[in-house]
Amino acid sequence: MRRAMVASALAVAVAATAGACGGDTAGEGQGAANEIEVLYKVEPTWPHMEKVLKQAKSQYEAANKGVTIKLTPVQGNNEVYYTKLALLNRSADSAPDVYLHDTFQVNADVAAGKLAPLDEYLGSWPDWQSQYADSVKQAAKGPDGKIYGVPISTDTRGLWYQKDVFAKAGLPVPWEPKTWADVLAAARAIKQKVPDAVPFSMYSTKPHGEAATMQGFEMLLYGTPGGTLYDDAQKKWVASGKGINDSLAFINTIYREELGPKQADAFNPKLADKMNLDWFPAGKLGISLDGAWSAASWKETSTKPWPEWTEKMGWTAMPTQNGEEPGAVSMSGGWVMAMSSYAKNKKAAFDFISVVTNKDNTLTYSVGSGDLTPRKDVAADPKYTAGNPSVKFWTDLASVTHYRPAYEVYPKVSAQVQEAMEAMTTGSQTPEQAAKEYADALPGVVGGPDKVISAP
């Protein structure tokens, strides 16, 4: 993480932000709260959000005397975090004022009345008008057209590969697979010629939650002809079709041919750490289907730096199934800072959000985490790309990216996808059986048989 921030520049930025947003907010309204509680997740190998929030807390409190920022970390992965958030959000007395939110969960909380719209405050925040592209602004847009979060990150997904493993397997570098068959062929070559390495790794079990759905299944499905979870034209969920069957069959092939991680590793919530901190540096993994942020695992700010990664690692796009146009596929999401509808002092809560997501703090987060930045001024800063030669590649994947259908029921659909993926991982069902079970379950998840269709 970039540590050479200039203190005076930060002070100026904070003062400007505070001034633009109204300065001292402690007295807003009758019974306004003087404490803003902020909930976020933290993992031993993922300290980046916590560092930024501590930095923003110091900045905000210095500029807003009388208001205290209470940082409340949740130790654990995304699934642990959302379980805790759901429990706290049951009551106005326990709900945090501000929290880190994954974009795919936003509309579910909007429908439940848990989030406050930010439009009133965004209209007078100059950064929102000048530094965020219209496409980025959609990340936390509710069905009512209002904005419910300020992005702190965005991302894309593709394939990472270890060049030493590829050399031992007799595979070309640079590697540019054109079809799924090319990916499987490379994995098979690694299994045959580098038997002590995991040929191919992807998230495919319920402990990985949305990472399995998005980085796994959707990266396959959206690369099939017409593949999608939701038909925008008919406004219905896709219950069955060749794309779903073929995507499950790909996952099944990975595990039945022993091209993927062992079962214990596939179910390990810490699989990402094993892949990036252990297997790749040791030459024990050939290919992973993952995101742009993986590079943060190897940078000097990591808990286990790997300085050689820029020479040892390669990156390439995930191809479409049979090379169909546009030839590659990616998925994008990201995280936002959102405000609870229960927040007593909403003006102060938004002011803190604007400090967390200002240029300096977003730069600190992006450089440390490896996530792509949502801000134009950060993207133009040389510090953003320094030491990470992969940034341009991952940014350019936005030209072929897709977004999840972020409707209220999407998290439930995602859970059904994970059930089907896990059956492929364990071999408890055939792809056809898992696809049928998914099709049978989907109407009950999305609101009835009139809400689903079958694709060719």
Residue 375 CB partners (closer than 8 Å, separation 6+): 127, 131, 132, 357, 359, 362
pLDDT at 5: 32
Average pLDDT over residues 437-445: 98
Same fold across 7-151+335-370 and 157-332+406-454: yes
**Count of C-beta atoms within a 10 Å radius of residue 262:** 11
Least confident among 2-16, 107-121, 222-236: 2-16
Tokens found for residue 223: 């690369």
Top-level CATH class of 7-151+335-370?
A: alpha beta
Predicted confidence band of residue 168 (pLDDT cuts 50, 70, 90): very high
pTM attached to this predicted model: 0.83
Predicted confidence band of residue 138 (pLDDT cuts 50, 70, 90): confident
In order, the DSSP letters of 228-294 are: -SEETTTTEEEEE-HHHHHHHHHHHHHHHTT-S--HHHHT-TTHHHIIIIIITTTT-EEEEEEEGGG
Higher model confidence: residue 271 or residue 387?
271
Q: Where are the domains of the chain?
A: 7-151+335-370, 157-332+406-454
Tokens found for residue 248: 């499950």
Tell me what the pLDDT averaged over the chain comes to: 91
Does the 157-332+406-454 domain belong in CATH 3.40.190.10? yes
Predicted confidence band of residue 35 (pLDDT cuts 50, 70, 90): very high
**Neighbouring-strand partners of residue 336:** 101, 151
Could you give the C-alpha distances from 110 to 47, 82, 145, 166, in angstroms and in order?
A: 28, 15, 11, 46
pLDDT at 28: 38
Per-residue pLDDT tens over the stretch 205-226? 999 999 999 999 999 999 999 9
